[in-house]
Amino acid sequence: MTMRAGTYNVRAKGHDSSYMPMKVTLSEDKIKNIKIDSSGETKGVADEVFKRLPKEIIGGQTLNVDAVSGATISSHGVVDGIAEAITQAGGNADEWKKRSKPVKRNGQNKEYSTDVVVVGAGGAGLTAAARLIQNNKKVIVLEKYPQIGGNTTRAGGPMNAAEPDWQKQFKALPGEKQSLKKLAVTPIEHIDPEYRADFKKLQEQIQKYLASGENYLFDSTLLHEIQTYLGGKRIDLNSNEIHGNYSLVNELVNNVLDSVKWLTDLGVKFDRSQVTMPVGALWRRGHKPVEPMGYAFIHVLGDWVKAHGATILTDTRAEHFLFKNGKIAGIIAKNSAGSKVIVHANNVIMTSGGFGANTPMVKKYNTYWKHIDDDIATTNSPAITGDGIRLGQEAGADLVGMGFIQLMPVSDPKTGEIFTGIQTPPENFIMVNQKGKRFVNEFAERDTLAKAAIANGGLFYLIADDKMKDTAYNTSQAAIDAQVKAGTLFKADTLADLAKQIHMDPGTLITTIKKYNSYVDAGKDPDFGKSAFNLKCEQGPFYATPRKPAIHHTMGGLKINTNAQVIAKNGKVIPSLYAAGEVAGGIHAGNRLGGNSLADIFTFGRIAADSICKKDASADVTSGASQN
């Protein structure tokens, strides 16, 4: 069936439920050109789709192409958009979808030798690679998915690091001093012994600040340490208590500001005009990049390591360790063509993430949540399936904290996405249940929010007004309008009309918001004790964003020490094996603070690389001494 030649304007459904404009140029019997405007898409999540699929479709003259791993929605969106163009041109789109797939030739097995092989090209892996290159090490990075980024690409962007001299320029929010006062009078007996000396010093810092009468945003590395510890101290369903390993937490908070400075030197630009925080962070110490979300880190790190000589092998899954004389000597992997890839290396760094996209594995280990549904959504990249945990066990690694799973309370009910709708900093959160009533301190930890949401039926709404909307992360008016049109975000000129749209009693929602606004004025929440406030909700239009908890972060993983070395079940270091990021456990314990994940991956990614370099330098000195 011939087509009417021309260029057709169509739309492709994107990863974040928006639609991307496409121009498809057709001749009478061929697809000649495909141009996709992906500017509205979350950068770094589906970039490979827009590079790969047009080439495959044009090259094979077929719509029967495989979805790009990790970007199924965007892949189908591109194919469906082109099919629409063919239909408009009078062609038979179904026939194009039934054509033969592009021929993929099997490649030959490949073998490499390097100083270090890094497994996983997310934030931790790229950080380790960059740091190793800075120390003149040869690096190969293996990434099982078609593009780099992992979960870091999907991160919100704010990275926790106490920087008091910078934070002093910002005023304290109502409620923040009250939180400090509670810490200042907390009995030392409530604190685990290893943290008590630091807690006592923190109380002295807080008392000095409160006595000064100043009204700036207080912070310190000790406050970051204690909040990380208290925020992660939990008891599971079997009455097992867990809290963060003191040495690891201390290492994190005392080195993370250096991570910010190191990233800045590499080219990441931070917005120094604001200090912010993601949900469940407990404190405003977030260093937020100028560019949107985690892409700000990934593209800088990715470009840097490629420009400085690292080899990044995408579509290459690490399957087993390579052993020599009983010790780890590299990785055996397989690429998407089915060919074996062998990497000989003196050291291996595991940075493959957790297992949040592997629901059966989550259910297997979970000891924290009473029930996890088989069809629960996840915020994770589909790549995050626990490969590094399995590999670590192959080498005899010990595991820690595996039963503790973090749910992200403010996730899209259908997709698990975090940044659909109006997602503001928590000081501007107003959470209402399906009856239109508040039900929790919106400034609390993530597990507290998720448990409260589940107790209220799971589904709830974030209510915002026009001013609050302007504080939302990575939200353009075009994206908002598209979601309103799609029915995934609700908008109305009045609270009464908004309530009707989401099947609430208007009087109940109006009363809830009126009370909340009075609490903002008073700086105190007598209902739920919200810990910090900013804006009132009073200027239309008003918005309601549907939210529901989804699997977000797996707290447990490979046991490591402060050198990021992996520890075996016998308590000894596994030679040549290191781990950083979500694949490792022990830092965040039962619940991770928002903003601590980025702090973790960039800090321990650097530590893993530095540990290898120090070990090699020490070995060189020893070797030189023995030769003399």
* C-alpha–C-alpha distance, residues 441 and 550, integer Å: 19
Q: Note whether 263 and 269 are within 8 A (CB).
A: no
The catalytic residue among 52, 154, 438, 446 is: 446
Gyration radius of the chain's alpha carbons: 26
**Closest residue by Cα to residue 379 from 80, 594, 87, 118:** 594
How far, in whole angstroms, is CA 286 from its chain's centroid? 14
Rounded Cα gap, residues 538 and 542, in angstroms? 8
DSSP H or E segment with residue 177: helix 176-184
DSSP alpha helix (H) spans, 267-367: 295-307, 359-365
**Total count of residues recorded for the chain:** 628
Q: What residue ranges in 97-223 does DSSP mark as E strands?
A: 110-119, 139-142, 159-160
**Count of beta carbons in the 10 Å neighbourhood of residue 234:** 19
CA-based nearest residue to 42, from 160, 158, 152: 152
Conformation bin of residue 118: beta by default, left when phi > 0, alpha when psi is -120 to 50: beta
Using CB atoms within 10 A of its CB, is residue 441 exposed (0-12), middle (13-18) or buried (19+)? buried
Query: What's the rounded Cα separation, in Å, for the pair 189 and 206?
Result: 18
What are the DSSP E strand ranges found in 360-442? 399-400, 405-411, 431-432
- In contact, 227 and 249? CB cutoff 8 Å: no
Q: Is 446 a catalytic residue?
A: yes
What is the helix (H) or strand (E) element at residue 623, kind and residue range? helix 596-627
DSSP 8-state class, residue 504: -
Written as six digits, the tokens of 536 are 């009132």
Query: Which has the closest alpha carbon to 242: 587, 506, 596?
Result: 587
Spell out the SS3 assignment of 68-87.
Answer: CCCCHHHHHHHHHHHHHHHH
The two three-digit tokens of residue 51, written as one number: 């590079």
Sign of CA dihedral 561, 564, 568, 573: negative
Provide the annotated active-site residues: 446
